[in-house]
C-alpha cells in the first residue's frame, strides 16, 4: 500500500531512511589523502545515490488526501513541514543550491546515458559555470567530489560544523512524516543505525 503521498512517498521514505542509516554508520577512512585526486568508497557512492533518489522523489510527491476522517489524512501544516524540512536539509549539505542542481543534473544525465563510464569518473573531470548569488561561478567537479566524503566524515572544512548532525536530524523528521509509526522489525534489522535514531528522536 502506498503512502498518503503516493508511490513517490514510498521512494522518499526508502531513500531518506537509507541515507540516514548511511550517515550514522561508522565510516572507513577516506580513500585519498591531502592533495590527491578524490576517490569515493562504496559507501560514499551509495550515500550519493540515496541523496539523488531523495531529491528526485520530492519532485513527484502526490497530493495527500485533504479530507479529515480518512485513515490516510494529512494535515496541510504537516505537508508544509515536510517541504520545509527538505529545504533545510539542502542547506546542511556540502553544496550550494547551484552546485546541487548541477550535480543532480549530471547524475541524471549519467543514468539516462547508459554509458560504461562511472558517475564518479564523469564528475571528477567535469566543469561548468553557473549563476549563483547573482554572479558567475565556475564549478569544478573534482572539488565537489572531494567535499562529499569529507562532509560524511566531518573532516577538513566540515570538522566541528554540526552540519552532518543537522542533516541526520532533518532526515529523521522527513522519515517520520512518511512513516510516523517507525520501521518494521525486518527493516530495523537491515538498518539498525537509522532504526535506533528514529526510535530515540520520535
Report how far residue 170's alpha carbon sits from residue 85's, in angstroms, rounded to the nearest whole number.
Answer: 6
Single pTM value for the model = 0.89
Give the least confident one: 58-72, 119-133, 160-174, 187-201: 58-72
Q: Grade residue 35 by pLDDT with cuts at 50, 70 and 90.
A: confident
Q: For 143-149, what is the mean pLDDT?
A: 97
Report how far residue 38's alpha carbon sits from residue 153's, in angstroms, rounded to the nearest whole number.
Answer: 14
Whether 171 and 119 have beta carbons less than 8 Å apart is answered as no
Q: For 40-59, what is the mean pLDDT?
A: 94
Q: Backbone dihedral region of 75: left (phi > 0), alpha (psi from -120 to 50 degrees) or beta?
A: beta
> Between 141-152 and 163-178, two packed helices, what is the crossing angle to 10 degrees?
80
Q: Grade residue 16 by pLDDT with cuts at 50, 70 and 90.
A: very high
Report how far residue 124's alpha carbon sits from residue 142's, in angstroms, rounded to the nearest whole number.
Answer: 4
Q: Grade residue 183 by pLDDT with cuts at 50, 70 and 90.
A: confident
Question: 6 pLDDT exceeds 80?
Answer: no
Q: For 81-97, what is the mean pLDDT?
A: 94
Q: Which residues pair with 135 in a beta bridge?
A: 132
Output the pLDDT for position 185.
Answer: 78
Eight-state DSSP code of residue 184:
-
User: For the chain, how big is the Rg over CA atoms in Å?
Assistant: 18
CA atoms within 13 A on the CB side of 19: 29
Cα 98 versus chain centre, distance: 16
Give 100-132 pLDDT, tens digit per residue: 999 999 999 988 886 667 899 999 999 999 888
Whether 187 and 79 have beta carbons less than 8 Å apart is answered as no
Average pLDDT over the chain, rounded to an integer: 87
For cell 512524516, the residue is 177
Output the pLDDT for position 64.
Answer: 60
Amino acid at each position: 500500500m502506498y503512502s498518503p503521498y503516493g508511490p513517490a512517498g514510498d521512494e522518499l521514505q526508502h531513500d531518506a531512511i537509507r541515507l540516514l542509516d548511511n550517515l550514522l554508520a561508522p565510516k572507513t577512512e577516506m580513500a585519498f589523502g591531502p592533495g590527491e585526486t578524490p576517490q569515493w568508497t562504496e559507501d560514499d557512492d551509495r550515500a550519493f545515490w540515496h541523496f539523488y533518489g531523495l531529491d528526485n522523489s520530492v519532485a513527484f510527491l502526490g497530493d495527500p488526501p485533504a479530507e479529515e476522517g480518512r485513515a490516510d489524512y494529512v494535515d496541510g501544516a504537516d505537508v508544509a513541514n515536510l517541504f520545509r524540512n527538505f529545504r533545510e536539509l539542502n542547506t546542511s549539505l556540502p553544496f550550494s543550491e547551484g552546485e546541487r542542481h548541477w550535480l543532480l543534473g549530471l547524475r541524471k544525465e549519467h543514468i539516462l546515458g547508459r554509458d560504461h563510464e562511472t558517475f564518479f569518473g564523469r564528475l571528477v573531470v567535469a566543469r561548468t559555470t553557473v549563476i549563483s548569488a547573482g554572479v558567475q561561478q565556475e564549478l569544478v567537479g573534482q572539488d565537489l567530489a572531494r567535499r562529499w566524503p569529507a562532509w560524511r566524515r566531518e573532516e577538513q572544512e566540515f570538522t566541528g560544523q554540526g552540519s552532518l548532525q543537522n542533516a541526520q536530524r532533518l532526515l529523521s523528521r522527513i522519515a517520520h512524516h512518511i512513516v510516523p509509526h517507525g520501521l518494521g522489525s525486518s527493516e530495523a534489522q537491515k538498518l539498525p543505525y537509522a532504526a535506533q535514531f528514529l526510535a530515540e528522536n520520535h
